[in-house]
């Protein structure tokens, strides 16, 4: 029988979404523990309880550090790693000026592998252990991404980005090649190790109706796969969609009409939704992914977190690397708080932590495996230092409860707050 390791520290356990049910649904243990065996969480409880239950276990004592599930980033573009924080454009100009020229390079397997490795290491250094990524139109980029993650033992999701119009020469495929390439990659990677394939039309403006229908047909053949795309990010984008799809009732209808609306759908941004779109997304159980640093960085608008969650929508949180301006889910939580404040809602620290872990895992429909540290789940976790800088330490020292202690790290923390990262029970940072 393999060795059991006890990790001691502060712990949190969510019994429900704290935004709906309140922070009292979260159990805080100032001297908690998790027991890890064979890459999975064996048990969670108080340190004294688990010491009694597993007297022969190895012990790693993390003191006052907070043990959390590894962060789950529900929407990234790993090929944009090198162009993160590029200055000053609206969405379409930003794509044409920065994104598309960079993505052209990913037909080179060596370059794709280099950036994929750099990206996953940066993500891990910021405490992110799972992400859902757009790759490029090149199958080589998908292979590079999944291989980099597999070498580090990570659970990741991703897929080939499909575009057959309104993109430069060298970045367009066809309806048929999008279907064929995506199917081959799906068959090669979906369910292999900790990889999940995601069917990935970039967004309606860069796919013809024929390509959207082809990808909708592929999704119908493999309904257990997630599907990811973008929805209603900017008002000028929405106007462009109206011109390209004059028969559509709204932006969401451009997906719905082609078989790309469903319970395993991931719809990034979703800022400027029409009432019908909200209703249909809730009816089918599709997930919306909030990308706050991206939305403010390129001036997209303010996501209605409170309204959407209280209406019953599934919502995840994401950096949107590299339209987003940070690899850090801590910074992303801070931005989500700031965006919500501008809409008149102060998100509780419990809600922010839930969104970055269990909430995003629910959006991706993998909360049975990651995002919770419940017994039986995969042991992807971090140790969060709540006094990682002098500024944070002096504020957290005045805290009267765990939420006052953790909030300064959410608002001011960075990779220095990540005191350790474990993937399947193995330390990676």
pLDDT in tens, 135-169: 999 999 999 999 999 999 999 999 999 999 999 99
**Domain count for the chain:** 2
Residue 1 is predicted with a pLDDT of 66
Helix, strand, coil fractions of the chain, as percent rounded to 5: 45, 25, 35
Q: Rounded mean pLDDT of 235-246? A: 97
Instruction: Indicate the SS3 state at residue 58.
Output: strand
327 lies in the same domain as 187 = yes
14 lies in the same domain as 93 = no
Q: Does pLDDT of 411 surpass 70? A: yes
52 lies in the same domain as 160 = no
Residues 6+ apart with CB under 8 A from 11: 28, 29, 32, 33, 34, 44, 66, 67, 373
13 lies in the same domain as 97 = no
pLDDT confidence bin for 364, thresholds 50/70/90: very high
pLDDT confidence bin for 393, thresholds 50/70/90: very high
* 80-104: b (≥16 Cβ within 10 Å) or e: bbebbebeebebeebbeebbbebbb
Q: Does pLDDT of 181 surpass 70? A: yes
Residue 413 is predicted with a pLDDT of 98
- Integer Cα distance of 111 and 233 in angstroms: 29
Q: Tell me which of 328, 363, 398 is where a domain ends.
A: 363
Q: What is the mean pLDDT of the chain?
A: 96
- Please answer whether residues 99 and 89 qualify as being in contact, where contact means their C-beta atoms are separated by less than 8 angstroms: no
More confident residue, 99 or 289: 289
76 lies in the same domain as 57 = no
Predicted confidence (pLDDT) per residue in 201-233, tens digit: 999 999 999 999 999 999 999 999 999 999 999
Identify any residues that bridge with 103 across adjacent strands, giving them in sequence order: none
Q: Tell me which of 307, 328, 363 is where a domain ends.
A: 363
**Structural domain that includes position 16:** 5-69+372-427
User: What percent of the chain is modeled with pLDDT above 90?
Assistant: 94
Q: Tell me which of 317, 342, 363 is where a domain ends.
A: 363
Q: Does pLDDT of 87 surpass 90? A: no
Q: Does pLDDT of 340 surpass 80? A: yes
19 lies in the same domain as 147 = no
CATH of the domain at 408: 2.30.40.10
Residue 317 is predicted with a pLDDT of 98
End-to-end CA, the chain: 27
132 lies in the same domain as 52 = no
Q: Does pLDDT of 47 surpass 70? A: yes
Q: Comparing C-alpha atoms, which of 2, 15, 58, 1 is closest to residue 34?
A: 58
278 lies in the same domain as 356 = yes
Instruction: Indicate the SS3 state at residue 133.
Output: strand
64 lies in the same domain as 77 = no
154 lies in the same domain as 88 = yes
CATH of the domain at 213: 3.20.20.140
- Integer Cα distance of 379 and 367 in angstroms: 12
Helix (H) or strand (E) holding 149: helix 139-151
194 lies in the same domain as 303 = yes
60 lies in the same domain as 101 = no
Residues 6+ apart with CB under 8 A from 293: 319, 320, 324, 325, 326, 331, 332, 335
């Amino acid at each position: 029988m393999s060795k059991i390791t006890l990790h001691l520290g502060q712990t949190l356990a969510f019994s429900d979404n704290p935004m709906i049910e309140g922070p009292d649904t979260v159990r805080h243990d100032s001297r908690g523990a998790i027991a890890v065996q064979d890459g999975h969480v064996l048990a969670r409880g108080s340190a004294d309880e688990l010491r009694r239950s597993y007297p022969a276990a190895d012990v790693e004592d993390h003191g006052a550090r907070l043990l959390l599930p590894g962060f789950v980033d529900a929407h990234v573009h790993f090929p944009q790693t090198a162009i993160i924080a590029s200055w000053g454009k609206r969405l379409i100009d930003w794509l044409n000026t920065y994104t598309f020229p960079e993505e052209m390079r990913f037909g080179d397997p060596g370059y794709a592998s280099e950036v994929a490795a750099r990206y996953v290491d940066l993500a891990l250094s910021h405490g992110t252990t799972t992400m859902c990524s757009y790759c490029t139109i090149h199958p080589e980029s998908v292979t590079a991404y999944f291989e980099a993650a597999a070498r580090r033992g990570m659970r990741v999701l991703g897929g080939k980005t499909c575009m057959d119009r309104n993109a430069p020469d060298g970045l367009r495929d066809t309806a048929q090649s999008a279907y064929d390439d995506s199917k081959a990659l799906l068959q090669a990677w979906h369910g292999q190790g900790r990889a999940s394939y995601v069917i990935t039309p970039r967004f309606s403006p860069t796919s013809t109706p024929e390509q959207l229908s082809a990808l909708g047909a592929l999704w119908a053949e493999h309904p257990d796969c997630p599907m990811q795309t973008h929805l209603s990010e900017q008002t000028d984008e929405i106007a462009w969609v109206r011109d390209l799809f004059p028969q559509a009732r709204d932006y969401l209808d451009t997906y719905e009409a082609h078989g790309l609306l469903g319970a395993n759908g991931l719809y990034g941004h979703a800022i400027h939704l029409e009432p019908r779109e909200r209703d249909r997304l809730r009816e089918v159980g599709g997930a919306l992914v909030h990308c706050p640093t991206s939305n403010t960085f390129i001036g997209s608008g303010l996501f209605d977190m409170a309204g959407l969650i209280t209406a019953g929508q599934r919502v995840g949180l994401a950096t949107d690397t590299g339209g987003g301006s940070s690899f850090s889910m801590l910074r992303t939580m801070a931005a989500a708080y700031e965006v919500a404040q501008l809409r008149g809602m102060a998100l509780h620290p419990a809600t922010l932590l839930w969104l970055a872990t269990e909430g995003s895992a629910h959006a991706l429909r993998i909360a049975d495996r990651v995002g919770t540290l419940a017994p039986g789940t995969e042991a992807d976790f971090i140790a969060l230092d709540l006094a990682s800088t002098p500024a944070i330490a002096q504020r957290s020292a005045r805290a009267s409860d765990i939420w006052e202690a953790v909030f300064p790290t959410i608002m001011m923390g960075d990779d220095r707050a990540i005191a350790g990262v474990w993937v399947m029970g193995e330390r990676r940072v």
